[in-house]
Amino acid sequence: MPEPAAGVVLGHAIIGLIEPHAGHERAWNRYYERDHLIAAGSSAPFTFSTQRWIATRGHKAVRAPRDNPITQPCDKGSFLAALWVEKDRLAEQQKWVAGMMPMLAAQGRTFERRDVLSTTAWDLLGAAARDVDGVPPELALERRYPGVVLAWLERRPECSLATLRDALLGEVLPPWLAASPTAQTLLFTPLPKADWWPKAAPEVPGVGDRILVFCFCDRDPLDVWNDHYASLAERLASGGRARVLLVAPFVPVVPGVDPDPRVL
């Protein structure tokens, strides 16, 4: 008898950090969630889950370090989006998107009044969970956690990416997750910018050197920042294996509801 199918397995993500130009926040939100995310994202084959978040002024205020290579200046990067892609299917997913983008552009379905801080594809390196039988990574976006915290790391020259990954998953994250408000963490590493990606999308720094630690929180991260997340950078850099580029919290965008630009 043949072995049962393994089911849908998360292998990759598309993650974008965007700052609409002042006065265009509402228009950007509507364009992205009502058209672009669907037409060039969730409709793509092997894309099985999406979610969006925002960083309010309060969330931006605790970002650290303030001087960092991800958000310059530090209060940019108000809108975050992530799309989950099935393992070993990224090439097919991206081929479909590459064919869709020229058609959308020809129809005028683009939005130029925004700055792209970071948009690229990522490979999943691994996951660490708080609960023995908790929410699987494949359903992390569907769970709609009340908040997420992202930490960008860059390995030290003497430490390989694999060594950093193994240290995070084996030594650093498990004790931090135990009895904490963080339900799970996923580790991603960036892939080079594809040739077909729009010119507005910046080149991808840190390929082969960086890890993104994606933390899913049971509460608004600000509610537990001092007790839980304020020391995350120090913990992730423990042992001198990595340099922490940025730790930043976000809360979900409610679909169909425009965030108040006055809080961004």
Query: Would you state the pLDDT for residue 158?
Result: 95
Query: Would you state the pLDDT for residue 200?
Result: 64
Architecture of 10-263 per CATH? 2-Layer Sandwich (3.30)
For the chain, the domains span: 10-263
Of 239 and 164, the structure prediction assigns the larger pLDDT to 164
Task: Mention every residue, 6+ apart, whose C-beta is less than 8 A from residue 134.
Answer: 183, 184
Instruction: State the pTM of this model.
Output: 0.95
Q: What confidence tier does 5 reach under pLDDT thresholds 50, 70, 90?
A: low
Rg (CA), the chain: 18
Residue 189 has pLDDT above 50, yes or no: yes
Residue 38 has pLDDT above 60, yes or no: yes
Q: What confidence tier does 195 reach under pLDDT thresholds 50, 70, 90?
A: confident
Task: Mention every residue, 6+ apart, whose C-beta is less than 8 A from residue 86.
Answer: 8, 9, 10, 11, 12, 46, 48, 93
Query: Would you state the pLDDT for residue 202?
Result: 73
* Across 33-51, average pLDDT: 97
Mean pLDDT computed over every residue of the chain: 94
Element (H, E) at 217: strand 210-217
Peptide linkage before 65 cis (omega within 30 of 0): yes
pLDDT tens figures, 89-146:
999 999 999 999 999 999 999 999 999 999 899 999 999 999 999 999 999 999 999 9
% of the chain residues with pLDDT over 90: 91
Q: Are 235 and 148 in contact (CB under 8 A)?
A: no
